[in-house]
Amino acid sequence: MKEVILCKYGEIILKGSNKGKFEAALMREMKKRAKYVGGFTVRYNQSTVYVEPENDDVTEEDVDEMYAQAKKVFGFASVTRAAVCEKNMEAISETAREYLPGRLFGKRSFRCEAKRSDKKFPLSSPEIAAQIGGVILSSVPKIKVDLKNPEITVRIEIRDKYAYVHAGQERAAGGIPLGTGGRGLLLLSGGIDSPVAGYMMAKRGLYIEALHFESFPYTSERAREKVLQLGRELTEYCGRIRVHIISLTHIQEELRDNCEEDYFTLLLRRFMMELADRCAKEEDCKCLITGESLGQVASQTLAAINVTDCMSTLPVFRPCIGLDKEEIVERAREIGTFNTAILPYEDCCTVFTPRHPRTQPELEKVEAQEALIDRAALLEEAWESRYTVTLHQFEQ
């Protein structure tokens, strides 16, 4: 029995005359992943991408891996494994009888749905569903029909050339295809929030570049490796990511020696935003992305954000701005970055942390503090420290 993976479009369906651009980007991403797994062909038709084994050498483990890869592709609303058969009720019934019991094992209730893309098929969708429902009831012990709240939904699709039988359709990444929204620079710390922010903007079609600030020797090589590991975990969704790293050590020492302690964090973040703005422009990024959540910490009050935002000439996207910590943690767990993010290695924002940071800063007073240091020279020194690590999606 031939089994394929069906990947259903999400909001791409709603696109108008430029739908082809989104489909092309989606196919590029899917073919890249299929090439990595090996042994699969990829085609699309009628708002569905078909991933099919090239020959009988493809193993169950290969299909599992390809299925996992498909669920991480932005642009798909759902994916499912399906059995393929001829477009007649005898073949469909026999396929359902052989293929579905394993999928329905342990389930107490089901619903059967049918969809006819081929309107010439002799039976209506309700008639197909009723007939296959009867096959399931006779083939799967103790299972019952529940049309309102089933444990699992069985679907029969009558398409252009073949019929497809499947159950247990799963939610995929959603969003729109990678690269269709442009390019953005993610300020990637070692915390929980920023990887989630990067994922959320990649889901809206942005290619992600990343910028990390370090403060060696106050921050360790393990802290840097933690950040790079977060980047690697994001590549599972975002493809290749280049992580640009800039040292803030001298800046932080100058702030400590010359400025009032309660302004340290605000002054540092203004440096970070200006350096990020410069890095973004050099890498052809059209926005900055941060993991800030309004009011979560002292530097993320509305007044503090206003004081730091003015240092960037680019728009700053904050997809986590309205989420509380539990919501962000839940998303971090979903995308697989949480366990790395909670590793106990410090980042630059924890160095020289003020005991009583300003939560309602005034721009004039912040600028007065900056006048106490040679800001331009410190910026250039930090900029010259930058280097880049490239992380690839399928590196071992």
Asked whether residue 396 is assigned to any structural domain, the reply reads no
The CATH number for 214's domain is: 3.40.50.620
Looking at residue 17, what is its pLDDT? 86
Q: Find the distance separating the first CA and the last CA of the chain, reported in whole Å.
A: 33
Give the pLDDT of residue 218. 85
Same domain, yes or no, for 73 and 196?
no
Quote the tokens at residue 122: 């002799």
Question: Domain boundary at 121, 139, 171, which?
Answer: 171
Shared domain for 20 and 80, answered yes or no, is: yes
Q: What is the Cα–Cα distance from 207 to 176, expressed in whole angstroms?
A: 12
Residue 344, in any domain of the structure: yes
Statement to judge: residues 22 and 166 lie in one domain: yes
Q: φ and ψ at 180, to 5 degrees?
A: -80, -10
**CATH label of the domain that carries residue 152:** 3.30.2130.30
In a domain, 76, yes or no: yes
- Is residue 267 located within the same domain as residue 362? yes
Q: Residue 349 has what pLDDT?
A: 64
Same domain (yes/no): 210, 115: no
Please give the pLDDT value at position 350: 65
- Counting the structural domains of the chain, the total is 2
Contacts of 305 (CB under 8 A, 6+ apart): 292, 294
- CB-based contact 354:256 (threshold 8 Å): no
Does 329 lie in the same domain as 273?
Answer: yes
Closest CA to 46 of 16, 73, 6: 6
pLDDT score of 5: 96
Residues 145 and 232 in one domain: no
Asked whether residue 270 is domain-assigned, the answer is yes
Query: What ranges make up the beta strands (E) of the chain?
Result: 3-9, 40-45, 48-53, 76-85, 109-116, 144-145, 152-158, 163-167, 170-171, 182-187, 206-214, 241-247, 288-289, 316-317, 387-391
The pTM is what?
0.91
- 87 and 16 belong to one structural domain: yes
Contact between 184 and 209 (Cβ < 8 Å): yes
Confidence grade of residue 46 (pLDDT, cut at 50, 70, 90): confident
For the chain, give the mean pLDDT. 93
Pair (160, 196) in one structural domain? no
Tell which of 149, 171, 193 closes a domain.
Answer: 171
Chain segment 346-357, per-residue pLDDT in tens = 766 666 677 778
The residues near 143 (Cβ < 8 Å, ≥ 6 apart) are 104, 107, 108, 109, 110, 136, 137
Residue 176 forms part of a structural domain:
no
Domain membership flag for residue 177: no
- Compute the Cα dihedral for 300, 260, 274, 210 and give only its sign: negative
DSSP 8-state secondary structure symbol assigned to residue 13 = G
167, 186: one domain = no
30 vs 28: CA distance, rounded Å: 6
Residue 11, pLDDT > 70, answer yes
Q: Each residue of 169-220: pLDDT tens digit?
A: 999 999 999 999 999 999 999 899 999 999 999 999 999 999 999 998 888 8
Q: Are residues 132 and 11 in the same domain?
A: yes
Residues 161 and 263 in one domain: no
Which residue among 150, 171, 192 closes a domain? Answer: 171
Task: Give the domain range for residue 46.
Answer: 3-171
DSSP 8-class letter at 348: G
CB-based contacts of 85, cutoff 8 Å, min separation 6: 1, 91, 92, 94, 95, 162, 163, 164, 165
Residues 316-330: what's their mean pLDDT?
Answer: 96
Residue bearing the bigger pLDDT, 286 or 219: 286
pLDDT for res 396: 54
| pLDDT over 70 (residue 327) | yes
- List beta partners, residue 214: 247
